[in-house]
Structure 1
């Protein structure tokens, strides 16, 4: 008979609780008449965890590469089940109550997430910072960035089909593996469901492997880096539009609000805002190409159109035109400076040409360099 369900547990010195978790999963298989297996993805235990697992007829897979994600990926790829349920081997999750996951997987869902906030978090099961700050904030950011409906991004108990696992093309090796799974499933439009899950205090006497600040930062970093829209595009557009509008007003003359006067000195800052915003937009384009071409993000329908709209030839033409206009404005300002025999410049009219001239030349050079690098990144196309 083919294996329907594989329960995969990452393991690093879990001798205190490993047997309890394995026995719960095996009793669940017997009670629900499921052909299942328990896979222990061992990440270098030195406390005899491997022997405990083997004595209970669990399959032990030795994973030499360190990390939560590495262990799980190794265990999942070694599993024979049509469906996979992964969970920590610290007895914080109840492996005897997996039927809600199995039913959703049988219905055809690709990924079934547990939600500890709906199922219940027992006293002492989750640190205060994780419960009221870390998990809610990171889950909110994940929902906002990736249009997901998942309420608990970091629940360690979750199920998915083996087919969906390969579709997700997971890459990370650390704790951010949990976030990557939801992000990739959302970006690839996989069917995702959520079931209430109870979290209990773990049964170990030693501290958990999870580091609050280090692993929290890794999750946040992953979410931001996998969303170039929020990291580069939106801030860049806001800065550029603000800089462009305010610069346009200041080029025509000073602007006053009550006793506050904005003149060419402010124009220098608003032009800088425009340049910084434009630089962020360029980084968005480069990041998008890099992540898609290296299969870190899925290719969207807009991606191919991006190469038709932006190419090396158009970039060189537009960039050179901006540089030429900047040079013309610079020559005009130079003529005015020459007229006063290269003395001190007191007229703000000259600065109203010099600042736009420098800005346009910098924009032109940025476009030319971006077009060259953009074309290099897209060579695979």
Structure 2
């Protein structure tokens, strides 16, 4: 399976103390794609390791998953931007068909539905929180998605036009909600989800999961954008 043209894809990798996982993750980025590792205040030398492995490193001192993701998005220059966790739980190589789908216009936003592989890949409390949010998202937007996972691809200009404002755990959900309000065509595909390397910063504990659910519930409470101000997909047309 050939990768899309190299100059077209940037992969945003939010990173907080992922020194152990970085070599594997960066090795799995498709050849020619640019890895943007967003160092979100690491104290384990993650930024230096990423640079030594050939990645472009973006420093984002403001803590928060959304802050790191958005710093990567604003630093990106490619036509298509992907997002992937930097903890070795998801394989960046799985993004190749996602990018193809965005490029050929069959989708505006492609998401990975996580399928746990082995014990410990996805704690029960994190799965329960994700399920609850998926049901709330369905009521809010009509989208029948099963997961709000971090593996995703879309066009950079369209993502920037969504004017995403959340800088915490609600960022991935806000992206989907605002894309749905703008009538984007959103697709979802199964991806294997591996036990992460190191300790989770978001959903590894009940407290982290609860905070993430709170952040995302706040996003769901936002009023839909008026039709005249919603960011239309770059390809145009209503296909949702």
Shorter-chain TM-score range = 0.7 to 0.9
Residue 23 in 1 paired to residue 27 in 2? yes
CA positional deviation for 1:96: 2.4
CA positional deviation for 1:21: 0.4
CA positional deviation for 1:158: 0.8
Is the contact between residue 95 and residue 151 of structure 2 (CA under 8 Å) also seen in structure 1?
A: no
Secondary structure in 1 aligned to 2:92? coil
Aligned counterpart in structure 2 of residue 14 of structure 1, from 15, 18, 37: 18
Taking structure 2 as the reference length, the TM-score comes to: 0.86
Secondary structure in 2 aligned to 1:159? strand
**Mapping for residues 214-363 of structure 1, pairs under 5 Å:** 214-223=211-220, 225-227=221-223, 297-300=224-227
- Hey, which of these two has a bigger chunk of strand by percent? 2
5+ residue gaps, structure 1:
30-34, 228-296, 302-381
Structure 1 residue ranges, 4+ long, deviating more than 4 angstroms after superposition? none
- Hey, which of these two has a bigger chunk of helix by percent? 1
Corresponding residue of 2:235:
none
Corresponding residue of 1:312:
none
Distance change (3 Å), C-alpha of 1:40 and 1:144: same
5+ residue gaps, structure 2:
203-207, 229-240
CA positional deviation for 1:79: 1.2
Is the contact between residue 111 and residue 164 of structure 1 (CA under 8 Å) also seen in structure 2?
A: no
Give the RMSD, CA atoms, in angstroms: 1.6
CA positional deviation for 1:121: 4.4
Mapped partners of 1:6, 1:161: distance in 2: 10
Secondary structure in 2 aligned to 1:85? strand
Distance change (3 Å), C-alpha of 1:226 and 1:121: farther
Kindly name which structure, 1 or 2, has the bigger radius of gyration based on alpha carbons: 1
**Mapping for residues 1-381 of structure 1, pairs under 5 Å:** 3-25=7-29, 28-29=30-31, 35-108=32-105, 109-116=107-114, 119-131=115-127, 133-152=128-147, 154-204=148-198, 207-210=199-202, 211-223=208-220, 225-227=221-223, 297-300=224-227
Is the contact between residue 122 and residue 198 of structure 1 (CA under 8 Å) also seen in structure 2?
A: no
Corresponding residue of 2:238:
none
CA positional deviation for 1:120: 4.6
Mapped partners of 1:71, 1:107: distance in 2: 28
CA offsets per residue over residues 16-45 of structure 1, 9 Å max, x none?
Answer: 1012101111xx22xxxxx42000111111
Taking structure 1 as the reference length, the TM-score comes to: 0.55
Q: Paired residues, what number?
A: 218
> Which is bigger in relative contact order (C-alpha 8 A, separation at least 6)?
2
